[in-house]
Amino acid sequence: MNAPMNFEEGKPAGQVRERLVVIGNGMAGCRAVEEILARDPGRFDVTIFGAEPRVNYNRIMLSPVLAGEKTFDEIVINTQEWYDDNGITLVSGDKVVEIDREHKRVVAASGRIEPYDKLLIATGSDPFIIPVPGKDLDGVVTFRDLDDVDKMLDAAEKGGPDGGQGRAVVIGGGLLGLEAAHGLNLRGMNVTVIHLMPTLMERQLDEAAGWLLKTELERRGQTILTGANTKEIIGKDGKVAGVRLEDGTEIPADIVVMAVGIRPATGLAREAGLEVERGIMVDDHMVTSDPAILSVGECVQHRGLCYGLVAPLWDMCRALADFVTESPSGYEGSVTSTKLKVSGIDLFSAGDFSGGEGCEDIVMRDASRGVYKRVIVKDSKVLGAVLYGDTADGSWYFDLMKKGEDVSDIREALIFGQAFASGGALADPNAAVAALSDDAEICGCNGVSKGQVVSCINGGAHSLDAVRSTCKASASCGSCTGLVESLLALTLGGEVESGPKTMCKCTSFTHGDVRKLIVEKGLKEIPQVMQELHWTTPDGCASCRPALNYYLLCAWPGEYEDDQKSRFVNERMHANIQKDGTYSVVPRMWGGLTSPKELRAIADVVEKFNAPMVKVTGGQRLDIFGIKKEDLPAVWADLNAAGMVSGHAYGKSLRTVKTCVGSEWCRFGTQDSTGLGVQIERMTWGSWMPHKFKIAVSGCPRNCAEATIKDFGVVCVDSGYELHIAGNGGIKVRATDLLCKVETEQEALDMCAAFIQFYREDAYYLERTAPWVERVGLQYVKDALGEEGAVERYAARFHYSQQFMQDDPWAKRAAGEHEKLHQHLAEVRPFPASQMENA
Amino acid sequence: MMIGNWLDIGPITQIEPGTARTLPVVGGEEIAVFHTMRNEFFAIVNKCPHKQGPLSQGIVHGDVVTCPLHNWNISLRSGKALGDDEGCVPTIPLKVDAGRIYLLRSAVIGAQDKAA
Ligand SMILES: Cc1cc2nc3c(=O)[nH]c(=O)nc-3n(C[C@H](O)[C@H](O)[C@H](O)COP(=O)(O)OP(=O)(O)OC[C@H]3O[C@@H](n4cnc5c(N)ncnc54)[C@H](O)[C@@H]3O)c2cc1C
Ligand code: HEM
Ligand code: SF4
Ligand code: FES
């Protein structure tokens, strides 16, 4: 054959190859070229620009390189020979700076100009740098390419300033940050991870798994700070010296790794006028808004999504290659799963685990093996999975999820671990309840009558929970739970399934079990309790979280950090919410005593903040109503200035100590009831309790302070003090039981402290002293406190715990603590509608 | 969607996870912006469908808020009351980009119409 040769050597005339230029010598760019070559090797003349001065390597393996488990050579995907063998021109270390769409060519930093017929943008993404002071200091690095790894290895090698251990701070507790932290830790650095969210890897993990991960990393010597906001990177002589957090904490550092996230690298495309939102917009064939320009990888946005993992890139590259070789298939988006590449930690997460309507969580925990598994099911399909400690089934769940398979047949076996079998029946049908008329009110909160409850039970609500959700009876304060249970028993006969009453739907343990186990097993955090006690939900509910928070606070005073999120609004705001959303403020008046200064301060507050009402409460103090959430800190500051502290009128805590005038003035008085009351209130204020707790001291048996309907009441007599317990003036009035009689004020104070502590340690959350004593029996309390040395022991524990409780929450708030809770974000002042149209 | 249609209400860090903050709208309904424990963000009108309780003050669990007044559970995603309670509160489309929160401007303004 003597076919005329084209001037381009080796190519037959008439078959001029199209020129394909690729921007980005990364994972997606090269994979796309490989896919095209596999389909039609002769189709394109390929030129690849890479900003990095090296061949294509497996970026995800940078973590093992950092950790010392792999070398760079081992993670190279395409060697120089591959480029040569396939006739690919690799322009490495030269960044493309412009796409000239008009002339169909690209311009590189070196000045090199390359024309194209088809252009492929595969620029990946850029690490996101948080805009804090000091971000540009020497020693602040990201974790994206081999150069970053080299910088980290250098820092590890160099060590600390005086030859000691090097200190690294990693900002960001996501996948990348934790892999960086792990590597640096293995390289001998002292590592602190700063994470903004309360949970590590919160995009992939729920609170439970995040807690397990955190504990394991801490066990390995890393310091993990969650809920920590970086304020500034501190420098010294232009070099990084540490990190300062919003709360003022300073962490010294020789290197700071920013791993807070990535942003698609869209600059070139945007400047070239391509359609770009978060990423470069592509269709199902990876074509951008310019038909000659394609794009794949982390830089694209497909059907509204940007990806940050490699699996989707492979699918994209296949679709792209199919399209350019004229057998279009189309990319339909990817479902992704995540694994953490930290040796010895098994963790898997896939799909959607944010829960929501119609979602069902199936949770299995095995505390002894450190396993937590959660599968989220909706409409009989697996929606997501989070696995920790045992990820063997990860790919199976992932498969079920991707295929959208119906799992109703295997629902029971989907996750192992049958709920605890319920124990023996307790309910004892109550004749008095049977005798109530149909219109008798059962639930005062929600106004539900006996007839309504019964018809709701007959209508199919065969459990307490079902009754609560269908007719609301006992769904609010819960004080009528016993009545509803009796009605269930009466109406259904033996059919009601009544195991021992568990704490809530999340657990099969009773309150008593949980309290006991917290102490026995030394459980010190909410997620730890949930893991160790095999909670059946990932993060509890509005009923068990506050209870656990209290139990932990009581068990580990000074050690346990109060979890604000687990508190009811009143306890978070330190004020009582009213039906219009405003708050009432009740400052403490010790023993009901007040002074002109206090009264003046209250009067001033009322006027200054336009409080619509002030009222004398039943607890011998004043209540200021109608205060707006955002005014609370200012109100408290004013009251603090006059020496007044929070009255805790809002909390499950010591409320007030009522006193009568006593021997000081009253002609009947036998002892200084006012003085004793003040002492008691000074001793007990600020203590969190299972429920609210009220005290009173009367100066003689005429009992003007109504001490015999209080949780703890003192009635003074000539020969000393009668101490009464477990009275209640609420829905169900109950007179106190006499606990004992003592001779001195000191004994009265000691017994008061001891009794409170015993109640704090023994009662269930939301159980007042009256139902508690009725449940356990007066003798039980007497026995416990009657033991040799018991009063001293309980009182000592109470005083110890009080050390940590008696700081005025108002003062802290007034000084700015949790200020965000009180302030509006901003205010929107809409423009007139006509202007809006053009906005 | 056009850039101008989104109202930038500031950085995500201004709302602690597991809480909400409020955004009064002059002449309209106050909006509650939630940051859940799982790092999702939602905006709804700050009025419980039951008796107008301030939902921003409730306990947040998953994507649900429990109203502080009578414990209705409201889905932050759909605005619907859950369980057997019936009612719905308007939701406001929200997006997070580069650490900032954006609300759909027309919905911020529109919240007043629906609720009025
Ligand atoms: C440390 C680390 C660990 C990871 N671990 C995992 C994991 O376990 N699992 C997983 O699925 N994913 C992981 N990833 C993510 C994964 O690496 C990325 O999803 C993948 O690399 C994206 O491929 P890409 O081609 O889009 O971008 P890249 O691989 O980043 O490639 C883009 C390339 O384009 C170059 N470039 C950019 N702009 C220009 C320009 N103007 N001119 C020339 N060249 C340019 C860049 O230098 C880069 O080399 C990890 C990432 C990192 C950094
Ligand atoms: C049994 C006969 C009683 C007598 C003789 C008696 C006597 C007194 C006296 C003298 C005072 C005034 C003290 C003072 O301010 O100077 C007083 C106050 C008061 N009494 Fe009685 N009382 C009796 C029973 C009760 C009872 C049964 C109650 C309520 C259950 C009660 C509730 C009060 C109250 C609330 C005060 C005001 C206390 C204060 O604010 O400090 N009294 N009583
Ligand atoms: S209780 Fe006794 S001492 Fe106290 S005010 Fe009443 S009568 Fe006086
Ligand atoms: S106002 Fe929200 S539950 Fe009643």
> Which of A769, A754, A623 is closest to A694 using CA atoms?
A769
Delimit the domains of chain B by residue range: 16-115
Contact partners, residue B71, CB within 8 Å, separation at least 6: A475, A476, A542
Cross-strand partners of A309:
none
Q: Is A830 within 8 Å of B83 when comparing Cβ atoms?
A: no
User: In this structure, are A547 and A694 located in the same domain?
Assistant: no
The finding on whether A593 has its CB within 6 A of some atom of ligand 2 is no
Higher-scoring residue by pLDDT: A817, A745? A745
Q: What does DSSP assign to residue A8?
A: S
Cβ atoms A106, A116 nearer than 8 A: yes
What pLDDT sits at residue A696?
Answer: 97
Instruction: For residue range A65-93, list pLDDT tens digits in order.
Output: 999 989 999 999 999 999 999 999 999 99
Residue reference for tokens 């963000």:
B41
Distance A704 CA to ligand 2 centre (A): 4
Q: Is B62 within 8 Å of A355 when comparing Cβ atoms?
A: yes
Nearest residue in chain B measured CA to CA from A357: B75
β-pairing verdict for B19-23 and B31-35: antiparallel
Report CA dihedral (A34, A36, A39, A43) to the nearest 10 degrees: -120
β-pairing verdict for A190-194 and A223-225: parallel
β-pairing verdict for A76-78 and A56-57: antiparallel
Nearest CA distance, A126 vs chain B (angstrom): 12
* CATH code for position A416: 3.30.390.30
The finding on whether A659 has its CB within 6 A of some atom of ligand 3 is no
Predicted confidence (pLDDT) at residue A621 exceeds the cutoff of 70: yes
For residue A302, how many other CB atoms are within 10 A of its CB?
Answer: 24
pLDDT band at A2 (very low <50, low <70, confident <90, very high): very low
Task: Pick from A621, A660, A668, A708 the residue to mutate for probing ligand 2's pocket: most ligand atoms within 8 Å of its CB.
Answer: A660
Residue reference for tokens 């101490």:
A723
Total residues belonging to chain B:
116
User: In this structure, are A444 and A418 located in the same domain?
Assistant: no
The finding on whether A668 has its CB within 6 A of some atom of ligand 3 is yes
The finding on whether A706 has its CB within 6 A of some atom of ligand 2 is yes
Q: How many folded domains does chain A comprise?
A: 6
Distance separating alpha carbons of residues A334 and A192, to the nearest angstrom: 34
* Per-residue tokens: A189: 């650095």
* Ligand 4 proximal residues by C-beta, below 6 Å: B 48, 50-53, 67, 69-72
Q: Is B23 within 8 Å of A198 when comparing Cβ atoms?
A: no
Instruction: For residue range A242-267, list pLDDT tens digits in order.
Output: 999 988 999 999 999 999 989 999 99
The finding on whether A703 has its CB within 6 A of some atom of ligand 3 is yes
Cβ atoms A173, A227 nearer than 8 A: no
* CATH code for position A41: 3.50.50.60
How remote is the C-alpha of A56 from its chain's centroid? 39
The finding on whether A700 has its CB within 6 A of some atom of ligand 3 is yes
Distance A602 CA to ligand 2 centre (A): 26
Contact partners, residue A409, CB within 8 Å, separation at least 6: none
The H or E element that residue A484 is part of is: helix A481-492
Residue type present at position A349? S
How deeply is B111 buried, as exposed, middle or buried, from its count of CB atoms within 10 A (0-12, 13-18, 19+)? Answer: buried
> Which of A82, A34, A27, A35 is closest to A58 using CA atoms?
A27
Instruction: For residue range A720-735, list pLDDT tens digits in order.
Output: 999 999 999 878 899 9
Residues A201-230: what's their mean pLDDT?
A: 90
Q: Which residues in chain B are contacts of A469 at CB distance < 8 A?
A: 83-84
How open is the CA angle A12-A20-A3, to the nearest 5 degrees? 5
Q: Which residues in chain A are contacts of B17 at CB distance < 8 A?
A: 197-198, 227, 565
What pLDDT sits at residue A835?
Answer: 43
Q: What does DSSP assign to residue A824?
A: -
The atom number, within ligand 4, closest to the CA of B85 reads 3
Distance separating alpha carbons of residues A416 and B44, to the nearest angstrom: 38
Q: What does DSSP assign to residue B99?
A: T
* Per-residue tokens: A440: 């008798």
Using a pLDDT cut of 70, give the percent of chain A over it.
90
* Per-residue tokens: A407: 């799992």
Distance separating alpha carbons of residues A388 and A540, to the nearest angstrom: 18
Total residues belonging to chain A:
839
Residues A41-51: what's their mean pLDDT?
A: 94
- Indicate the range of A175-179, A412-416, A496-500 predicted with least confidence: A496-500
The atom number, within ligand 1, closest to the CA of A340 reads 8
Q: What does DSSP assign to residue A175?
A: H
Predicted confidence (pLDDT) at residue A315 exceeds the cutoff of 70: yes
Residue reference for tokens 């994206």:
A144
Residue reference for tokens 């023993």:
A591
Q: Is A506 left (phi over 0), alpha (psi -120 to 50) or beta?
A: alpha
Domain boundary among A405, A427, A449: A427
For residue B78, how many other CB atoms are within 10 A of its CB?
Answer: 16
Instruction: For residue range B41-54, list pLDDT tens digits in order.
Output: 999 999 999 989 99
What pLDDT sits at residue A111?
Answer: 94
* φ and ψ of A346, to 5 deg: -100, 120
Instruction: For residue range A784-829, list pLDDT tens digits in order.
Output: 999 999 999 999 999 999 998 887 777 777 777 777 766 777 777 6
Contact partners, residue A737, CB within 8 Å, separation at least 6: A724, A725, A726, A773, A778
What pLDDT sits at residue B5?
Answer: 85
How deeply is A211 buried, as exposed, middle or buried, from its count of CB atoms within 10 A (0-12, 13-18, 19+)? Answer: buried
The finding on whether A717 has its CB within 6 A of some atom of ligand 3 is no
| CATH architecture label of B16-115 | 3-layer Sandwich (2.102)
Q: Which residues in chain B are contacts of A263 at CB distance < 8 A?
A: 98
Distance separating alpha carbons of residues A588 and A768, to the nearest angstrom: 22
Residues A33-54: what's their mean pLDDT?
A: 94
User: In this structure, are A624 and A710 located in the same domain?
Assistant: no
Q: Which residues in chain B are contacts of A839 at CB distance < 8 A?
A: 4-5, 105
Distance separating alpha carbons of residues A766 and A53, to the nearest angstrom: 66
Task: Tally the C-alpha atoms within 13 A of residue B112's C-alpha that lie toward its C-beta.
Answer: 14
What pLDDT sits at residue A76?
Answer: 93
B23, B68, B108 member nearest A577 (Cβ): B68
> Which of B115, B69, B99, B88 is closest to B8 using CA atoms?
B99
Question: How does A488-508 read in b/e, with b if 16+ C-beta sit within 10 Å?
Answer: bbbbbeeebebeeebbbebbb
Which bound ligand lies closest to the C-alpha atom of A445? Answer: 4
Nearest CA distance, B102 vs chain A (angstrom): 12
pLDDT band at A683 (very low <50, low <70, confident <90, very high): very high
Nearest residue in chain A measured CA to CA from B70: A476
The H or E element that residue A383 is part of is: strand A381-388
pLDDT band at B112 (very low <50, low <70, confident <90, very high): very low
Helix (H, G, I), strand (E, B) or coil at A530: helix
Contact partners, residue A414, CB within 8 Å, separation at least 6: A362, A375, A377, A382, A407
Distance separating alpha carbons of residues A248 and A258, to the nearest angstrom: 19
Q: Is A539 within 8 Å of B37 when comparing Cβ atoms?
A: yes
- Indicate the range of A374-378, A445-449, A528-532, A583-587 predicted with least confidence: A445-449
Contact partners, residue A23, CB within 8 Å, separation at least 6: A29, A49, A96, A99, A106, A119, A120, A121, A122, A123, A268
User: In this structure, are A298 and A354 located in the same domain?
Assistant: no
Query: What range does the domain containing A451 cover?
Result: 434-562
* Per-residue tokens: A239: 């070099």
User: In this structure, are A474 and A552 located in the same domain?
Assistant: yes
Q: What does DSSP assign to residue B18?
A: T
Q: Is B69 on the interface with A (CB under 8 A)?
A: yes
> Which of A766, A699, A754, A711 is closest to A735 using CA atoms?
A711
Report CA dihedral (A180, A184, A187, A189) to the nearest 10 degrees: -170
> Which of A616, A618, A614, A682 is closest to A654 using CA atoms?
A682
Q: What does DSSP assign to residue B39?
A: S
Q: Is B26 within 8 Å of A828 when comparing Cβ atoms?
A: yes
User: In this structure, are A166 and A197 located in the same domain?
Assistant: yes
Q: Which residues in chain B are contacts of A264 at CB distance < 8 A?
A: none
* CATH code for position A496: 1.10.10.1100
Q: Which residues in chain A are contacts of B27 at CB distance < 8 A?
A: 830
User: In this structure, are A672 and A800 located in the same domain?
Assistant: yes
Distance separating alpha carbons of residues A740 and A762, to the nearest angstrom: 19
Instruction: For residue range A637-673, list pLDDT tens digits in order.
Output: 899 898 898 888 888 999 999 999 999 899 899 999 9
pLDDT band at A421 (very low <50, low <70, confident <90, very high): very low
The H or E element that residue A758 is part of is: helix A745-762
Cβ atoms A565, B19 nearer than 8 A: yes
Which bound ligand lies closest to the C-alpha atom of A659? Answer: 2
Distance A598 CA to ligand 2 centre (A): 25
Nearest residue in chain B measured CA to CA from A226: B17
Cβ atoms A460, A440 nearer than 8 A: no
- Indicate the range of A301-310, A311-320, A595-604, A801-810 predicted with least confidence: A801-810
How remote is the C-alpha of A311 from its chain's centroid? 29
What pLDDT sits at residue A420?
Answer: 23
Find the distance separating the first CA and the last CA of chain B, reported in whole Å. 27
Q: Is B22 within 8 Å of A577 when comparing Cβ atoms?
A: no
Predicted confidence (pLDDT) at residue B111 exceeds the cutoff of 60: no
Higher-scoring residue by pLDDT: A42, A835? A42
User: In this structure, are A120 and A269 located in the same domain?
Assistant: yes
What pLDDT sits at residue A413?
Answer: 62
What pLDDT sits at residue B4?
Answer: 60
Using a pLDDT cut of 90, give the percent of chain A over it.
58
pLDDT band at A15 (very low <50, low <70, confident <90, very high): low
Distance separating alpha carbons of residues A83 and A46, to the nearest angstrom: 9
How remote is the C-alpha of A802 from its chain's centroid? 28
The H or E element that residue B19 is part of is: strand B19-23
* Per-residue tokens: A274: 């391509």
Q: What does DSSP assign to residue A25?
A: -
pLDDT band at A754 (very low <50, low <70, confident <90, very high): very high
A540, A569, A826 member nearest B57 (Cβ): A569
Residues A44-55: what's their mean pLDDT?
A: 95
User: In this structure, are A579 and A678 located in the same domain?
Assistant: no
Size of interface A-B (CB pairs under 8 A): 144
* CATH code for position A797: 3.30.413.10
What pLDDT sits at residue B88?
Answer: 93
Is pTM beyond 0.90 here?
Answer: no
- Asked if the structure places residue A834 within a domain, the reply is no
| Arithmetic mean of pLDDT over chain A | 87
Q: Is B71 within 8 Å of A542 when comparing Cβ atoms?
A: yes
ipTM rounded to 2 decimals: 0.71
* Helix, strand and coil percent figures for chain A, each rounded to 5: 35, 20, 45
Q: Is B68 within 8 Å of A476 when comparing Cβ atoms?
A: no
Nearest CA distance, B70 vs chain A (angstrom): 7
Q: Which residues in chain A are contacts of B82 at CB distance < 8 A?
A: 357
The atom number, within ligand 3, closest to the CA of A705 reads 1
For chain A, helix (H) and strand (E) counts, in that order, are: 27, 38
